[in-house]
Amino acid sequence: MTDDPRDAAGSPPLPPARSSVEPAGPPTTDGDQRPSGERRQEGRRASERRPTTIRRAIRDELADEPTDEYYSETHPQEHRAVPVIEVDHVYLGFDRPILEDVSLEARKGETICLVGESGTGKSTMLKLILRLLVPDRGNVCIHGEDITDLTFEEALEARQHMGMVFQSAALFDSMSVFENVAYPLREHTTLDDDAIEERVREKLAFVDLDPDQVMSQLPSQLSGGMRKRVGIARGMANNPEIMLYDEPTSGLDPLSTGTITRLIMKLQRELDVTSVVVSHDIRSVFRMATRVAVLNERRIVFFGTPEEMAASDDKYLRDFLGGS
């Protein structure tokens, strides 16, 4: 069982803009043999280009990805300006402070990527949005409604409108793929068995899996990439408006990484889902993010578009991108 062969081309070199913040260091591994000074100059020129040009350059690397024109047609500006997730001046700590004065906003249809070093509170942010954790101070609002004061039962209800994809996929290993994807449907809908099967097939096909082949298999029989895809299918089974991903590409080979990245973009493109993605994979982040939030030492030190991030002169950002 292998992943989608189309993804052989799905791991493009980093966008030109990225190299603008690359410090002088070891040569890149993308086959570019030119002297590093020449590459830096080209990168500098790229960073001086208009952001939309860079954005287009990033997108053009994927033949089947939509252009900015597509986005402007399908996602009118006023539609995209609606905030879906708002994290407002949040403080959280346990034995030690985890997050301090963190604010974040995701608008309808946006893909926000959360990046940062390990242990900076990225996954904690997802848990706050899911209301698995309650902030010590500050608010988390979903569709304008503050979820910090919800009871446990109300929080369970609120989570039904969100889909979560875990780092380890977290499929129920005692259930088949079909039962895993059908789980939220059986729990929270009144769909009959036929409708559930139809929905499961639809979601599995969406994540490029052959339903007839995988439905009866157990998670332990699947490859890592397939497990992640089943995790995405389960997360979107209830047609949630919000999808959260905790390091969806970690531990995957480049082909599977490309497949998962492409799927996240497809969800945004076709279903207008608002997504928050925690990732260490800068290449994927640049491909899928509408905005990037960088967490460092318990705070968000940057929140902007990938183009702005690539063009930033901030030393930490430059080091971060250069080191990744």
Instruction: Give the residues lining the site for another protein (CB under 8 A).
Output: 130, 132, 152-153, 156-157, 159-160, 162, 164, 166-168, 170-173, 183-184, 187-188, 234
Q: Are strands 83-93 and 137-142 parallel, antiparallel or unpaired?
A: antiparallel
| Alpha-carbon span 288 to 277, nearest angstrom | 9
Handedness of CA 107, 110, 111, 116 (dihedral sign): negative
Of residues 72 and 160, the one with the C-beta less far from another protein: 160
Of residues 177 and 321, the one with the C-beta less far from another protein: 177
Supply the minimum distance, in Å, between the C-beta of residue 153 and another protein: 8
Supply the minimum distance, in Å, between the C-beta of residue 244 and another protein: 8
Return the beta strands (E) in the chain as ranges: 83-93, 97-107, 111-116, 137-142, 145-146, 162-165, 242-246, 274-278, 291-296, 299-304
Q: Phi-psi region for residue 64, left (φ > 0), alpha (ψ -120 to 50) or beta?
A: alpha
The torsion angles phi and psi of 181, rounded to 5 degrees, stand at -70, -35
CB burial string 55-66: b at 16+ within 10 A, e below: beebbebbeebe
Of residues 94 and 152, the one with the C-beta less far from another protein: 152
Supply the minimum distance, in Å, between the C-beta of residue 140 and another protein: 15
Supply the minimum distance, in Å, between the C-beta of residue 163 and another protein: 8
Supply the minimum distance, in Å, between the C-beta of residue 161 and another protein: 9
Of residues 130 and 295, the one with the C-beta less far from another protein: 130
**CA proximity to 269, closest of 54, 66, 60, 55:** 66
Of residues 132 and 195, the one with the C-beta less far from another protein: 132
Supply the minimum distance, in Å, between the C-beta of residue 227 and another protein: 11
DSSP code of 6?
G
Of residues 116 and 240, the one with the C-beta less far from another protein: 240
